[in-house]
Structure 1
Amino acid sequence: MGGMSYTMTDTTKLSTAECYGIALCELGEEHKDVVALTADLAKSTKIGMFGEKFPDRFFNVGIAEQNMFGVAAGMAKNGLIPFASTFAIFTAARSLDQIHTDICYQNVPVKMIATHAGTSFGQAGSTHHALIDMACMRTLPHMTVICPCDGAETYNAVKAAYDIEGPVYIRINRGFDQVIYKSPEECNFVWDKASVMNEGTDITVIACGSCVFEAMQAARIAASDGGLSVRVLNMHTIKPIDKEAVLSAISDTRRIITVEDHEVMGGLGSAVAEVVASSGKACAFKMLGHQDAFSTIGLQEDLLAMAKIDANGIAETIQEMMHADFEADDAWDDEF
């Protein structure tokens, strides 16, 4: 049932937000317990698509995000599956108390679709940049955190969220996303397993969200310019993280770079670093992202370049990391 089809003239409509709207409408058709809530951002977040189709199951609470998540928690306690949507920074920062206490403490199945994540609404300024949201969400007990790489993967993530127990946070962009997968079926999405986008043995780049496309381009640059074999992992699920994929990268490549449109502290890089540290196995490791700093204002492509998380910045770091030295033998016998 459902699914998406498109022609080349439709690709501009395949943003993460558009595909989220499509998937939510399909869930509404399949499950009568699905309801949707907005904080007066129905058009901007695309949840309005659900409202047009199911007006009796759509609730606009006004510009009151905290109230929206409290209402969603109450609905979930009474057997409904609420999908609540607003900008990522308003979800993680403005509404953290309600998400912490009303949703996570009670472990109720509220599904949060946080749009305009990272610097995807870069021209709106720091008040609308979401650079700390994954750090906030992944520390909350019971929370699942997903950051899809494009529209097709977003479609699958939203569909999967219905069946995932407890609260789910899905982080997507404003729009204008790169198309990586031609269809939801092509990406073979398994919500708690990383996707290998490019095989490689020299170094591993682990990315999420919009940085997955940039990492794939950087791998091509590294192969063309230096003959390097770069593994690219799409770590779409930040919590629970795919430990097996990270451990394989440590053993196989001994060099790891993480890339995210987010603060380096608390997000993807920190999650991977925790796996590396607990493994007891040494590797060269570097986290790319926003380095304990607010981003300046501008278009996302410029902001990614300034943070060195675009293709050129990642390719430059790959070259630097290839100069990292290890002990003479590659055996793990003397490691813990």
Structure 2
Amino acid sequence: MTTTEPATVTTPTATAPTATSPTPPKPVGPREAYREALVALAERDERVLCLDSDMGNLDTSFGGRFPERYVSTGIAEANLFTVSAGLAARGLRPYAHTMATFAATRAAEQLKLDVVGTGLPVRVVATHAGLSAAHFGSTHYCLEDLAVTRALHGLTVVVPADAREIGPALAALHELDGPSYLRLGRSATPPVHDGDVPPFRLGEAVTLRTGNDVTLVACGPLPVRFALAAADRLAGEGIAARVLQIHTLVPFDEAAIAVAAAETGGLVTVEEHRPQGGLGDAVAQVVAAHAPRPVLRIAVTGPLPGLVDDHAGLLATTGVSPETVHAAALRVLSAPRTRSRTSTSTSTSTRTTTPTTTTGTPSEGRPS
């Protein structure tokens, strides 16, 4: 990482906020939003339990409010899932909280057998997903969990786009009778939804931008923001990009993808995950079966040992950024068109320029 010299006199003098220039609200972190939502659920449903693997703050935020419903298993994720399954078998609603890398890899056997294999209503809340652990290093990065969880039959998999979506997502998952996996990041990010948060419906994609030239499909806080930034840049070039936010990987909104493939010239997927087994694979499977179009996947590539940076910097270094999404969209639009087997209609293009092929990078106590 590089450092910069301190600014001297070039920084303008700050002015106090006024009625016409309010101070922007500080983004709420995903873990804070989750804790608030869990406490609200516990107030309404006495079956709600919080099981914690030494993640910090839950012992005071939830345990301080409901000490009889807070269980600390320590840094023992396999035990965390087995105990949660036992409590769920007694009619309770346990929320098992740990880091994503430990939930999906270290305790994969217990997740598969004790939680998913029994079909019990255990909610696995996996934080620090993707590269959001940042300065903790590669031992805490998690780029394989969607491949694991998507393969577990009967497990609902949800990835909110921002902190404001976590409460509605948790409420929807609470109504399920089976197990679920909620994937959260570590750091606060600006909200994706400027106004009201769209109704949260499991298995239903959210259309953030309309357009018939190319489709950008994204999941997760920063990937969704990168897709929106790329769409804005494309719009300035006369290219109308449709942006689909996917908050539910399982069950997957195949219909929205099939329609996008039939109506646009191709698709670009954006995710904070390895190219294998995540959003890109889910989209490619649908497109191949319904309306063949070019699909480019923007995902984390390359080795990670020794790589440390801030969250966005890590993603940019490993191939995920607004620039790589924009370049991939241009590449998709310049690819030879394949006629859809399922639709004979032609898309209504608003493109006024002919894109050229662009080469871009593809895509001892627990720290908190």
How many residues align? The count is 321
Query: Given the alignment, which residue of 320, 327, 340 partners 1:309?
Result: 320
1:120 paired with 2:132, answer yes
Q: Which position in structure 2 is the counterpart of 1:288?
A: 298
1:161 paired with 2:208, answer no
1:134-173 → structure 2 map (5 Å cutoff):
134-173=146-185
1:191-230 → structure 2 map (5 Å cutoff):
191-210=202-221, 211-224=223-236, 226-230=237-241
- Map Cα deviations across residues 111-153 of structure 1 (whole Å, 9 max, x no partner): 0110010001122111100100111111011100001110011
Q: Which position in structure 2 is the counterpart of 1:101?
A: 113
CA drift at 1:67: 0.5
Q: Which position in structure 2 is the counterpart of 1:38?
A: 52
- Map Cα deviations across residues 23-66 of structure 1 (whole Å, 9 max, x no partner): 111100010100010011132xx575222221110001111111
| Rounded Cα–Cα distance in structure 2 between residues aligned with 1:208 and 1:248 | 18
Contact 2:202/2:251, CA 8 A, preserved across alignment = no
| Rounded Cα–Cα distance in structure 2 between residues aligned with 1:293 and 1:147 | 24
Q: What TM-score does the superposition give when structure 1 sets the normalisation length?
A: 0.91
- Output the amino acid matched with 1:283: R
Going from structure 1 to structure 2, the CA distance change for 1:51 and 1:220 (only over 3 Å counts) comes to same
Contact 2:301/2:319, CA 8 A, preserved across alignment = no
CA drift at 1:326: 1.2
- Output the amino acid matched with 1:258: T
DSSP 3-state at the match of 2:296: strand
Q: Which position in structure 1 is the counterpart of 2:100?
A: 88
Q: Which position in structure 1 is the counterpart of 2:79?
A: 67
DSSP 3-state at the match of 1:29: helix
DSSP 3-state at the match of 1:282: coil
Going from structure 1 to structure 2, the CA distance change for 1:116 and 1:104 (only over 3 Å counts) comes to same
Going from structure 1 to structure 2, the CA distance change for 1:99 and 1:223 (only over 3 Å counts) comes to same
1:177-188 → structure 2 map (5 Å cutoff):
177-182=189-194, 185-188=196-199
- Hey, which of these two has a bigger chunk of helix by percent? 1
- Output the amino acid matched with 2:333: M
Q: Which position in structure 2 is the counterpart of 1:241?
A: 252
Contact 2:165/2:197, CA 8 A, preserved across alignment = no
Contact 1:36/1:47, CA 8 A, preserved across alignment = no
Gap regions ≥5 residues in structure 1: 1-7
CA drift at 1:291: 2.9
DSSP 3-state at the match of 1:20: helix
- When structure 1 is superposed on structure 2, of 301-310 and 53-62 the one drifting more is 301-310
1:270 paired with 2:281, answer yes
CA drift at 1:11: 3.5
Going from structure 1 to structure 2, the CA distance change for 1:223 and 1:37 (only over 3 Å counts) comes to same
Gap regions ≥5 residues in structure 2: 1-21, 345-368
- Output the amino acid matched with 2:197: E
Going from structure 1 to structure 2, the CA distance change for 1:13 and 1:331 (only over 3 Å counts) comes to closer
Contact 1:126/1:294, CA 8 A, preserved across alignment = yes
Q: Which position in structure 2 is the counterpart of 1:4?
A: none
Q: Which position in structure 2 is the counterpart of 1:28?
A: 42
| Rounded Cα–Cα distance in structure 1 between residues aligned with 2:302 and 2:178 | 31
CA drift at 1:12: 2.8
Q: Which position in structure 2 is the counterpart of 1:3?
A: none
| Rounded Cα–Cα distance in structure 1 between residues aligned with 2:204 and 2:138 | 32
Contact 1:109/1:165, CA 8 A, preserved across alignment = yes
Going from structure 1 to structure 2, the CA distance change for 1:292 and 1:248 (only over 3 Å counts) comes to farther
Contact 1:37/1:85, CA 8 A, preserved across alignment = yes
- Map Cα deviations across residues 200-241 of structure 1 (whole Å, 9 max, x no partner): 1100010000211111111001111x1110011001100110
- Output the amino acid matched with 1:287: R
CA drift at 1:13: 4.8
- When structure 1 is superposed on structure 2, of 303-312 and 82-91 the one drifting more is 303-312
Contact 1:265/1:292, CA 8 A, preserved across alignment = no
Identical amino acids, percent of aligned pairs? 33
1:256 paired with 2:267, answer yes
Going from structure 1 to structure 2, the CA distance change for 1:250 and 1:67 (only over 3 Å counts) comes to same
CA drift at 1:9: 5.7
Q: Which position in structure 1 is the counterpart of 2:333?
A: 322
Contact 2:116/2:155, CA 8 A, preserved across alignment = yes
Going from structure 1 to structure 2, the CA distance change for 1:115 and 1:229 (only over 3 Å counts) comes to same
- Map Cα deviations across residues 147-178 of structure 1 (whole Å, 9 max, x no partner): 11100111111111101231100101002212
Contact 1:147/1:237, CA 8 A, preserved across alignment = yes
| Rounded Cα–Cα distance in structure 2 between residues aligned with 1:10 and 1:25 | 26
DSSP 3-state at the match of 1:219: helix
DSSP 3-state at the match of 2:337: coil
| Rounded Cα–Cα distance in structure 1 between residues aligned with 2:341 and 2:88 | 51
